[in-house]
Structure 1
Amino acid sequence: MFKKMVIAVLLYSISYAVPHNVDASLNVDSRKNVIFMVMDGTNSDVITLARHYKGKALALDEILSGGVRTYSLRSAITDSAAAATAMATGQKTIVDFIGMVPVEEKDGTFRGRPVANVLEAAKEKGLATGIVATAPVQHATPAAFSAHSNSRHQMKEIGIQQAHQNFDVMLGGGKKYSFAKMEGMLDHVSTKNELMDSNSRQLIGYFSEEDMAYDFDRKKLHPKQPSLAEMTKKALQTLDRNPSGFLLFIEGSKVDFAGHKNDPVGMISEVLAFDEAVKVALQFAKEDQNTLLIAVADHGNSGLTMGNRQTDQTYPETPSEEFTEPLKKASLTVAGAISQLKQNKSNIEDVLKSYGLDNLTKTEIKRLKKEKDIEKAMVQMMTQRAHLGFTTRGHSGEDVFLYTYGGKGVLHKPQGLINNTELPGYVIKHLALPPLSELTKKRFVPAKEHYINMGFKTEIKVKENKQAIFIAKKSGTFIQYPANQNIRIVNGRKETLNGISVYNGKDFWIPIQ
């Protein structure tokens, strides 16, 4: 039954992979660019609440153009890995898969088969490419635009793949999972000042071991970290030097992180930070006129609502200030506030005030001190004060907003209610990239079949460090392909390939020059 469903949805996904109304006679005389921006885990009420909090229109409001359906291959509610894979490759997949579509084994389990993504297609054409994120750059969403793995949790392996994809810009968190090869890029930065001072044509920056700070917390607790808007500005300056054009992927990662905590302060922090990055990108696109800007959420999270049981009867007379004023008292997100709590909890009142929880009674403070999960208790108290509701600490399955902009040089942009698998088609047409299906055949050839057909004997060895190597041998020729890298070794001589080798635990795929 599931197999039939997989086939049906795959066919449905492929039918949406290229927009139906895109004219193939696209004028490619002038340089074209794409800025693809994703708000991770952002539902519509969060956008509304952030606008009320700000007190004026968002940059996003100017370019609202439709909605996006987000379901995964076998679930109405997706995760970031499957959602980003759909947006990067045009194909639906299952939870946890990064740039892979499922192949069913005889025992009913699934392994991934790699499929090409839009950044790989841009690189194939000679465009500059970049990734920016406030999570580790190896995290699910940026990973799906830059790597191929059975599991989003294989972040070390994803980091190795990214290092061998030859991107021009890589900015965000994730130093813990980075790979040494990337240190060889022309410029490597680790602070905001170093970032803004760079004039390199290639740029890598890891600003934290794991994810970067929430924007509200960054200003006070991590001032050396750049904002998402600052990373966006520098990425655009760097990539714009390429005469062939560029494709830049940007993720505002931590709306999702705050959503999982049910922290409305953190969610607003990251929506507003993302909106500032959109403002920078939109200004660039307006001045350039040949840049397609796409901004979208990958899925909803938390089911946040403006209004809860407290407002069942009072909502007709509840102004926006009733929701936002309690939130505006917070100077830190709940994660930032908790990070300041001493082990003996002696400064708990200061911590609570930094999260906007003032005027607490001694009884309330005493009760909070005894809580096993103080963070959870704090967000629940804030939620009550702000008359907000949450339905889950997980993802949600609603359609999400689509935001797009294109100047005179952008003939077509996505609009209306579309599927997430349609988005890559617009990128491909605007940049005149090779079809992803053709690039997949070229970049991900079944290694065993390829070499056996040429009379080689093959084997796969997995070293103690779990590094897998595909080996082909024939009459004095000894060829090795290390997994996750863009090299092959022929009789001891190393050669650079135009793509990476991928291993799914059973099968190897290799690029063919």
Structure 2
Amino acid sequence: MNRRSLLKGGLLAGLTIPFTGVSDVIAKPIGGSKKAKNIIMMVSDGMSIGTLNMADLYSNRILGVSSKWLGLYRDNKAVRALMDTASASAMVTDSAAASSSWGGGMRVRNGSLNVGMKGEKPQPILQKFKEKGKKVGCVTTVPITHATPAGFCINIDNRGGQDIIAELYLGLKFDVMMGGGHKYFGEKRAGGNLIPKYLTQGYKVVENRDEMLALNNNKPVLGLFAEDGLPYEVDRKHDKNLMKSTPSLAEMTMKAIDLMKDNKDGFALQVEGGKVDWAAHSNDVSGLIFDQLAFDEAVGKVIEFAEKDGETLVIITTDHGNSNPGLFYADEADKKFDSLQNFKHSNTWLLAQLNQSFSEQKIIDLIKENQGFEIKPDEVKSLLNHFKDISPNQLYNESNLPFYEYGKILGKYTDVQWAGMNHTGDYVELTMFGPGSENLKPFIKNFELHNFMLKAAEMPASFLVKA
């Protein structure tokens, strides 16, 4: 495995933001503080600051408590910074390049997973941790082969090769890999069913919540709880069958910790709220806020563990903004925003139920029943017209649903508006709790987190990526 310096002259020639070394990130030597035996990195994928903000507003107003993430700020429990999110090919990153910056310690072009502009292949961070005896794993609400978990695990030049990524994972024999993406492992996989190979290699393969909860730590685990992404949290919470069959992100996270926490050399875990990003791409306000709250629930459970454990560095962040949603001023903004508590289903679920043969009244009734408000007949006509106008190949919209038009309609009833439907180049929140967090400076670049984590865990100097 390649542990050599990978960022020598000219590697980042295509990027206007220069590389800075670890000394620019770390205020004092991490060796002077307690070692982080465990590292948990939590990523709410595609989380604009407005998403964090609105989830906290909802939590305070409807649930009566602060969100766990912002509660860390209010209680002065965590260290906070801003992080840039550029890739080697653009100021606006995709999730593959963003995760690779953390996983490989260098910037790569959008679409690539730990393959540099000159073909360099840095050893991903979970491979490094595994090599030194830690248990390692990833959990996510999207396919486990998706860009964010894969960026911590493997080297491949095209993030789209998820069936290949599934096979690459097999050889790594990581300890816990859980999320969606059954179609990239099972009988529907283009290259053949991999699950028998995982079983032969000693894996325990689980496919529902009960099987996951019954796991012990005797074998490495592959958990596949959906063909593609897991359901949106707002849909899961209002479907008894989904609640029984599909674990929440918090449940997956705590099971992963439970399976790895007794290892004498500790563990490293990546946790991703991946459907936050998908909801932002869809301008889906209930999908967005309730999946952010599901991520926040996982944050709270992880912080509880870390407070008791005392040897765990928790990193909470996002890889980039997406669509920059926010609650906008209006006379009844408070009342309209509070109406989100009446939503039983996401826009994706609702729009998938519609049929152009439905009467206007049937559509009005369907929306009122599942999202709590009554749209006007002219809005129904506009919505149906846009079923014919959808641009093909819209990201995470294989069914060509009119997300943009419906997002605009919803804005009238919730006062939540969107700036677009894609990633943004924002600087993002970076929060740390636990040993090593005291060394975080107020602003860092995304790729610098790689060495930061290695130093916090006191990994060998040969593992560090050098400028």
Shorter-chain TM-score tier: 0.7 to 0.9
Structure 2 letter corresponding to 1:211? G
Give 1:198 shift: 1.4
Aligned equivalent of 2:421 = 393
Whole-Å separation in 1 of the counterparts to 2:275 and 2:141:
7
Structure 2 letter corresponding to 1:330? F
Aligned equivalent of 2:93 = 78
Whole-Å separation in 2 of the counterparts to 1:422 and 1:63:
23
Aligned equivalent of 1:473 = none
1:145 and 2:152 correspond:
yes
1:297 and 2:318 correspond:
yes
Q: 1:130 to 1:5 in 2, by over 3 A?
A: closer
RMSD: 2.6
Whole-Å separation in 2 of the counterparts to 1:102 and 1:363:
51
Aligned equivalent of 1:66 = 81
Whole-Å separation in 2 of the counterparts to 1:323 and 1:298:
30
Matches within 5 A, 1:336-415: 336-341=349-354, 344-345=357-358, 347-356=362-371, 358-372=373-387, 373-406=401-434, 409-410=435-436, 412-415=438-441
CA distances 1:55-74 after superposition (whole Å, capped 9, x unpaired) = 23111013341211111123
**Contact 1:260–1:301 (8 Å) recurs in 2:** yes
1:425 and 2:451 correspond:
yes
Partner SS, residue 31 of structure 2: coil
Structure 2 letter corresponding to 1:182? Y
**Contact 2:36–2:436 (8 Å) recurs in 1:** no
* Alignment partner of 2:247 out of 226, 235, 246: 226
1:244 and 2:261 correspond:
no
Aligned equivalent of 1:21 = 27
Q: 1:97 to 1:361 in 2, by over 3 A?
A: closer
Give 1:338 shift: 2.4
Aligned equivalent of 2:55 = 50
CA distances 1:440-467 after superposition (whole Å, capped 9, x unpaired) = 9xxxxxxxxxxxxxxxxxxxxxxxxxxx
Q: 1:40 to 1:235 in 2, by over 3 A?
A: same
Aligned equivalent of 1:449 = none
Q: Does 134-143 or 213-222 show the bigger shift? A: 213-222
CA distances 1:468-491 after superposition (whole Å, capped 9, x unpaired) = xxxxxxxxxxxxxxxxxxxxxxxx
Give 1:11 shift: 9.1
Partner SS, residue 257 of structure 2: helix
Whole-Å separation in 2 of the counterparts to 1:10 and 1:129:
34
**Contact 2:83–2:445 (8 Å) recurs in 1:** yes
Aligned equivalent of 2:38 = 33
Give 1:191 shift: 0.8
Aligned equivalent of 1:187 = 204
Matches within 5 A, 1:122-201: 122-178=129-185, 179-180=194-195, 181-184=197-200, 185-201=202-218
Whole-Å separation in 2 of the counterparts to 1:89 and 1:436:
14
1:257 and 2:278 correspond:
yes
Structure 1 letter corresponding to 2:409? M
- 5+ residue gaps, structure 1, are 104-111, 441-513
CA distances 1:304-356 after superposition (whole Å, capped 9, x unpaired) = 1322xxx4xx5xxx576245124333211101222333574365334312552
Partner SS, residue 170 of structure 1: strand
CA distances 1:8-38 after superposition (whole Å, capped 9, x unpaired) = 759933524884334263578x770000111
Give 1:231 shift: 0.3
TM-score, L = length of structure 2: 0.83
Whole-Å separation in 2 of the counterparts to 1:214 and 1:18:
39
- How many residues were matched structurally? 419
Q: Which structure has more strand as a fraction of its residues?
A: 1
Whole-Å separation in 1 of the counterparts to 2:430 and 2:134:
25
Structure 2 letter corresponding to 1:267? L
**Contact 1:50–1:272 (8 Å) recurs in 2:** yes
Structure 1 letter corresponding to 2:367? L
Whole-Å separation in 2 of the counterparts to 1:18 and 1:243:
32
Whole-Å separation in 2 of the counterparts to 1:375 and 1:9:
33
- 5+ residue gaps, structure 2, are 1-8, 74-79, 186-193, 388-400
Give 1:361 shift: 3.7
Aligned equivalent of 1:211 = 229
Q: 1:251 to 1:100 in 2, by over 3 A?
A: same
Q: 1:321 to 1:439 in 2, by over 3 A?
A: closer
Partner SS, residue 420 of structure 1: coil
CA distances 1:205-231 after superposition (whole Å, capped 9, x unpaired) = 100111111111112342211000000
Q: Does 170-179 or 318-327 show the bigger shift? A: 318-327
**Contact 2:209–2:246 (8 Å) recurs in 1:** yes
1:97 and 2:112 correspond:
yes
Structure 1 letter corresponding to 2:260? L
